[in-house]
Structure 1
């Protein structure tokens, strides 16, 4: 279920002077499933608009978001929270992120119905503090072969459903929505 912040005006996001907008997709992923969602978001953004120059990076290497016109920031969710590198990135770059269009996504619930059913604890505070346009939660993947011993013990104790629950059509549709929001608007003359 998407969560949207109250609409606050963002400074006009410009382009880099060549009619192209630079978009950063920054992601924190522990076992690769969330990184694969970010890769699909970036692929669809690129395909949706030739005016978007999309860079995808792990949050640890993403650098200053001020170098981009828009940011999609995502994290895997464990124990109801974003991963520390994503939370740290958002806190460290909050001022720059507030100065451009930002979208947030979380990956974590698995199975049907989703387990756990709640949004991550970080989602609403991050949405507000970054004045992000939207937060989406996408189902994730649970593959015990990719987990460490302690993680497998927790998964077993919680009886978490195993498998790949990612909803690729929903990921693609959201990327197309973001691309449409970033599309250049025609300039109207006075006459």
Structure 2
């Protein structure tokens, strides 16, 4: 099965999560294409999609939201899973669940959504991002659980196995 993993990531942390998803799906025998949302023109030849975004101030990045809007009909026609990655130390169901996710899941019939803790490196942040992070009292460091990411990707791989006749 040909799977598109498309991830919106500002500083590379969420992209790294996408790489683990893509690698796990490849290890399970799938043909995987990984691209940034702005590099996806259509879903021609794609059988399933994992669409993800870093979360900033409780919202997905614009490029991921724009891809979902632009390709809504095509996304509705294939199995889709969503992932979010946000503030490293905030509870996933509070800080990492963007407002748009529930509506998007409903619109495209996504099979699931998973939030993951992120990575925080203040040295790569803009002044505005540093101010936002300070207000949220997030801890610096890499808090991503790549074992959990690979496990989730394995569940996706299992869900895409052909059903015996």
TM-score, L = length of structure 2: 0.94
**Cα distance between partner residues in 2 of 1:116 and 1:181:** 23
**Cα distance between partner residues in 1 of 2:136 and 2:159:** 40
- What are the superposed Cα offsets for residues 113-157 of structure 1, whole Å, 9 maximum, x if unpaired? 527834211110111011000000011111101111221122223
Residue 29 of structure 1: aligned partner: 9
SS, match of residue 94 in structure 2: coil
Q: Is the 8 A contact 2:49 2:79 kept in 1?
A: yes
Q: Is the 8 A contact 2:92 2:116 kept in 1?
A: no
Residue 27 of structure 2: aligned partner: 47
The Cα of 1:67 is off from its aligned counterpart by: 2.5
Residue 128 of structure 2: aligned partner: 150
Is 1:117 the counterpart of 2:94? The answer is: yes
Judging by fraction of residues, say which structure has more helix. Answer: 2
**Cα distance between partner residues in 2 of 1:106 and 1:22:** 22
**Cα distance between partner residues in 1 of 2:93 and 2:88:** 7
1:88-103 matched pairs, under 5 angstroms: 88-103=66-81
TM-score, L = length of structure 1: 0.81
Structural RMSD (CA): 1.5
Gap runs ≥5 in structure 1: 1-20
Is 1:56 the counterpart of 2:25? The answer is: no
- What are the superposed Cα offsets for residues 101-124 of structure 1, whole Å, 9 maximum, x if unpaired? 00000000322x527834211110
Q: Is the 8 A contact 1:26 1:58 kept in 2?
A: yes
SS, match of residue 30 in structure 1: coil
Gap runs ≥5 in structure 2: none
In the comparison of the two structures, how many residue pairs are matched?
A: 164
The Cα of 1:63 is off from its aligned counterpart by: 2.1
